[in-house]
């Protein structure tokens, strides 16, 4: 009987448990995890701050692990992997007691660690006004503060940063967003699409400082102000949404190969050790379109990789198809979604990208209350293949991006994307939908 050990119970680890159990009813499955509950939903944190989710308890989730015959080392941190003897040494984070856990197959799902920017004094204020927004208990605290403290700064204009910024603003806080690069969602959106989001956020009263850095933090007992571009910005709390780095230490110390982006894995999510898999935010995998190394810290990707690793560890032969990077974020009322490459990434990858772009309404103009939707489809001029798409608007960004995701997955040309039949009903969509229009416009440019 095979013994499968999973380090880390997030979206990826959970998927690995399910998939291993479905593949092998008899496998011995063991989970090692630090939390004192089973699963947490970090993507829900902004909505907890906003108040859409009642309490922190809604973001913590207990699984029926005993019912699935899964042994659970709760509150244990994996300290070291002895690959020669196939043992993971784990330590109880409260008692300090060590426990050796043996494995036949090991799945590393150690996730990522939030980046604390190198700003003088910032570490002293952690918990006293500076938050990383990965801990649901912090989120509860932030929610309370946002209703009483008048001003906040959010560092990083990615999904988590902007979702939180919008929530804080809705709660009555004066919010400033500081982003090092020159526009929001710099990896996903092109500047022209990000501009639409900038305008929306500024209309909401959020101050955006793009191409800027937090240079200092000041305060007494608690945070009082931050220094941005040499200017003082009053700030009772600072949220760090400046990204995360893959947590590869455990694997690295065990001599497992790491790449520039994370623990190196193959199509089965296997590492350089044939009995050890890595999945999720800590695992370097590859881009579906280009085949180049890639990493995509999204729970959807972690879940897919967990499914592959769990099944493989239990003896199945399945592969991860690579990452496309389909994602959606809801910032206030605005939906921002993208898939594949933006213009800059496509140029860097050696393509000759052209795009079709449309500003449209989600409904026919004769049906009331249509919502603005902006679509941009990016294709390669030479092969005519679909490389990516971006959607920014107030209705249906995700479904349109999901269609493009399927199209990229299928290796479609822009002409094929334009041929796809889409569902239509006046309150829902248009006869000639924004997505098809954008695809047609891109095709027109390379005819």
Partner 1 sequence: MNIPEELKYTKDHEWLKIEGDVCTIGITDFAQDHLTDVVFVELPEVGDRAEAGKTIATVESVKAVSDVFSPVTGEVVGVNEALPDEPEKVNEDPYGDGWMVKIKMENPAETEALLNAEEYEKHCESGD
Site residues, partner 1 (CB under 8 A): 355, 357-360, 432, 437, 441, 444-445
- Residue 274 or 347 with smaller CB distance to partner 1: 347
Residue 432 beta carbon to partner 1: minimum distance, rounded to whole angstroms: 8
Residue 417 beta carbon to partner 1: minimum distance, rounded to whole angstroms: 17
d(CA 420, CA 311): 33
Determine the Cα angle at 332 with ends 329 and 334, to 5°. 60
Instruction: Name the catalytic one among 43, 151, 222, 235.
Output: 43
DSSP 229: T
Strands 386-393 and 372-380: antiparallel
d(CA 417, CA 443): 10
Residue 441 beta carbon to partner 1: minimum distance, rounded to whole angstroms: 6
For 24, the 3-state DSSP assignment is coil
Residue 414 beta carbon to partner 1: minimum distance, rounded to whole angstroms: 14
- Residue 286 or 355 with smaller CB distance to partner 1: 355
Residue 392 beta carbon to partner 1: minimum distance, rounded to whole angstroms: 15
- Residue 391 or 441 with smaller CB distance to partner 1: 441
d(CA 188, CA 340): 8
- Residue 284 or 395 with smaller CB distance to partner 1: 395
Q: Assess whether 43 carries a catalytic annotation.
A: yes
H helix or E strand, kind and range, residue 165: helix 159-170
Question: Which residues lie below 8 Å from residue 348, measured CB to CB, with a gap of 6+?
Answer: none
d(CA 437, CA 136): 42
For 142, the 3-state DSSP assignment is helix
d(CA 360, CA 396): 12
Residue 435 beta carbon to partner 1: minimum distance, rounded to whole angstroms: 13
- Residue 305 or 429 with smaller CB distance to partner 1: 429
- Residue 25 or 447 with smaller CB distance to partner 1: 447
- Residue 166 or 430 with smaller CB distance to partner 1: 430
Residue 350 beta carbon to partner 1: minimum distance, rounded to whole angstroms: 20
d(CA 362, CA 326): 20
User: Of the candidates 221, 299, 288, which has an alpha carbon nearest to the alpha carbon of residue 11?
Assistant: 299
d(CA 17, CA 366): 51
- Rg (Cα) of the chain, in Å, rounded? 23
Give the pair of three-digit tokens for residue 244: 């995360």
Neighbours of 325 (CB within 10 A): 23
Give the pair of three-digit tokens for residue 265: 């894995």
Residue holding tokens 């929306």? 200
Determine the Cα angle at 341 with ends 335 and 347, to 5°. 135
Residues with a catalytic annotation lie at: 43
């Amino acid at each position: 009987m095979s013994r499968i050990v999973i380090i880390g119970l997030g979206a990826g680890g959970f998927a690995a448990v399910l998939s291993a159990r479905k593949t092998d009813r008899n496998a011995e499955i063991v989970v090692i995890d630090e939390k004192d509950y089973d699963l947490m939903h970090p993507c829900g944190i902004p909505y907890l701050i906003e108040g859409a989710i009642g309490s922190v308890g809604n973001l913590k989730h207990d699984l029926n692990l005993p019912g699935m015959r899964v042994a659970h080392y709760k509150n244990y941190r994996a300290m070291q992997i002895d690959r020669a003897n196939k043992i993971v040494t784990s330590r109880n984070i409260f008692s300090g007691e060590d426990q050796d856990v043996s494995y036949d197959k090991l799945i590393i799902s150690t996730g990522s660690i939030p980046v604390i920017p190198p700003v003088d004094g910032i570490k002293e204020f952690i918990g006293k006004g500076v938050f990383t927004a990965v801990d649901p208990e912090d989120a509860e605290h932030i929610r309370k503060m946002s209703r009483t403290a008048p001003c906040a700064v959010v560092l990083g204009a990615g999904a988590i940063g902007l979702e939180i910024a919008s929530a804080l603003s809705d709660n009555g806080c004066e919010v400033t967003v500081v982003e090092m690069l020159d526009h929001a969602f710099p990896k996903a959106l092109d500047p022209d699409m990000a501009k639409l989001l900038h305008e929306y956020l500024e209309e909401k009263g959020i101050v955006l400082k793009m191409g800027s850095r937090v240079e200092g933090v000041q305060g007494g007992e608690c945070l009082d102000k931050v220094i941005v571009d040499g200017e003082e910005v009053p700030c009772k709390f600072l949220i760090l949404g400046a990204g995360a780095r893959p947590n590869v230490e455990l694997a690295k110390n065990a001599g497992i190969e790491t790449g520039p982006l994370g623990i190196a894995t193959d199509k089965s999510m296997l590492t350089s050790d044939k009995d050890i898999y890595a999945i999720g935010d800590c695992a370097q995998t590859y881009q579906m379109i280009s085949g180049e190394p890639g990493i995509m810290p999204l729970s959807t990707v972690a879940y897919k990789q967990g499914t592959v690793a769990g099944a493989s560890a239990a003896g199945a032969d399945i592969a991860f198809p690579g990452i496309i990077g389909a994602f959606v974020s809801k910032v206030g009322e605005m939906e921002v979604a993208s898939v594949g490459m933006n213009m800059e990434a496509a140029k860097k990858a050696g393509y000759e990208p052209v795009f079709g772009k449309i500003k449209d309404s989600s409904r026919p103009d004769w049906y009331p209350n249509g919502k603005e939707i902006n679509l941009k489809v990016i294709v390669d001029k030479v092969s005519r293949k679909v490389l990516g798409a971006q959607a920014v608007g107030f209705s249906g960004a995700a479904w349109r991006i999901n269609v493009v995701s399927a199209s990229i997955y299928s290796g479609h040309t822009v002409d094929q994307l334009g041929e796809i039949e889409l569902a239509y009903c006046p309150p829902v969509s248009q006869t000639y939908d924004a997505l098809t229009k954008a695809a047609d416009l891109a095709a027109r440019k390379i005819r």
